[in-house]
Amino acid sequence: MKMKSKSKSPFIFLLLFIICACALVLEASNNGHRPFKMEGNEELHIKRSDFPDGFLFGAATSSYQVEGAYLEDGKSLSNWDAFCHSVGCGENGDVADDHYHLFLEDIDMMHSLGIKAYRFSISWARILPRGKSGEVNTAGITFYNEIIDNLILKGIEPFVTMHHFDFPQELEVKYGSWLNPEMQEEFVVFTESCYKYFGDRVKYWITINEPNLFTKEAYESGVFPPARCSEPFGNCLTGNSDVEPLIVMHNMLLANGKATKLYHDSYQPKHGGSIGIVVSCLMYEPLTNTDLDRKAAERAFAFDIGWVLDPLIYGDYPEEMHKYLGSRLPSFSLEEKNLLKNSIDFIGINHYSTLYAKDCINSSCSSIGARAIQGFVDITEERDGVLIGERTGLEELFVVPRGMEEIVNHIKIRYNNKPMFITENGYSSPDVYEERVDKILNDVKRIEFHSKYLAFLAKSLRNGADVRGYFVWSLMDGYEWLQGYDVRFGLYYVDRETLIRSPKLSAKWYKEFLMNKSDLIDMKASGGRRSFQNML
């Protein structure tokens, strides 16, 4: 349509613009539309297009937490089976989510969600029920072959962890598991079975999940099997919290080095995949703006994350550990240093929270913080009576989104920007005993959590961090170790009676995000009531 009067058009356009703008502002006000703000006053509106095209988005689980079928088809008792049956965990993974029987349904669920990668773990007790002294369990091989084949059929990349806390209980009885160097060879034999039977289709391997967390929980505080510890860390029947964690980590690192060398020498040339390790990565910030606390934060990192990664990148433990532990810290031979140095292709980062670090060398601290194995650092969640972030369903985890950018940048700098994957990041509501299913399904807080953390992750990528994927923990509500089933991280709710999976609002948001359509602002404004009935 032609304009009849050029002289009037600017005024008309301006008037129309003002009217429309006022209407939009009024509508937004009436409907509660306010831009959701990140820390630093940056609007939170994260989309898939903020990440590179080849960036892998997925979800994660682990064998003991979802599979169930704990003694079916030739599987032996795992350390967690034996632990929960003997000491009583309250709940256990005997049935879990029955993923062992429902995996095809679960893979269809993943496909409908739109994820491009699925991180899962292989049960050692299902593949080698008696360790290297026994036969490979063909039923276990068949089970994981079917998972891998069906994932690939649906266009989902298998991202496989070989040791996620569970192993045959027989190895605990026979050796004392990771306290014994013999466990290194047991692990290598197990990993070779995995490479042999699955390696032609699996392009991403993880040797061990969170050796730092496992070591501390099992041998320092003694709350994970085999429940070994000493005062002041815990009250166990046996153990030495100041020494045993160091021995266990030493054996796990050497096992990792041998398993990665085997893969690099014998399987990577044929299959062309990559192999890495996953580390529990809390971010540590200084409690006060002093040199003492800044150094304490650096020590906290070294005694936790550096404990694992420094040997695997540089061939030896961090200088801080040598300085404060002295002869208690096991030593690597020159051959072992060469085995470990640059032995991993990527770093897996499990990041959930950030905490404060306080110096205990020049200050009075708790009995635990004042120990050498802690790096003489106290860890706290409060500063001047104010929590570092919102509480979650786990008392030690808080919502601190900036920590995602901080931890990625810290690892980027310390380890020469080695390729990274965010292998776990997730949220559990502080209402851990909430039984109202409608509230569980309407998990707006989980959407906020992932959106905030993803926004800070995108910032770190823009600043050059070589991060190649992000996995939501977890695909569905499962067995959360000592917390049982009341702590829920899943995108899907699992009814404990029927085991029926139901998508939470976060699953529907994640699907839209992966389609580059997600809009957190709209969802918050509607109180999470946006219509998704036909999406999944």
* Active-site hit among 67, 186, 406, 424: 424
CB burial string 226-252: b at 16+ within 10 A, e below: bbbbbeebbebeebbbbbbbbbbbbbb
Residue 40, φ and ψ in degrees, nearest 5: 90, 10
Q: Are the CB atoms for 254 and 336 separated by under 8 Å?
A: yes
Amino acid at 425: N
Q: Are the CB atoms for 243 and 228 separated by under 8 Å?
A: no
For this structure, is 39 an active site residue? no
Distance (Å, whole) CA 115 – CA 92: 28
Q: Are the CB atoms for 303 and 319 separated by under 8 Å?
A: no
For this structure, is 210 an active site residue? yes
Distance (Å, whole) CA 138 – CA 142: 6
Q: How many CB atoms lie within 10 A of CB 465?
A: 19
Reference 118, options 127, 109, 129, 131; nearest CA is 109
Q: How many CB atoms lie within 10 A of CB 311?
A: 25
What residues contact residue 361 under an 8 Å CB cut-off, 6+ apart? 292, 376
* DSSP annotation of 168: B
Reference 84, options 73, 95, 75; nearest CA is 95
Distance (Å, whole) CA 43 – CA 35: 6
Element (H or E) spanning 19, and its range? helix 9-31
Tokens (6 digits) for 414:
């310390």
Sheet strands (E) in 219-373: 274-280, 283-286, 346-350, 354-359
Three-state DSSP at 130 gives coil
Instruction: Sort residue 46 into left (φ over 0), alpha (ψ -120 to 50) or beta.
Output: beta
Element (H or E) spanning 285, and its range? strand 283-286
Three-state DSSP at 437 gives helix
Amino acid at 149: D
Going 184 to 186 to 188 to 191, the CA torsion angle's sign is: negative
* Active-site hit among 210, 336, 405, 406: 210
Distance (Å, whole) CA 308 – CA 305: 6
Reference 475, options 504, 435, 515; nearest CA is 504
502 forms beta bridges with: 493
Sheet strands (E) in 78-133: 117-121
Q: Are the CB atoms for 248 and 184 separated by under 8 Å?
A: no
Residues tagged active-site: 210, 424
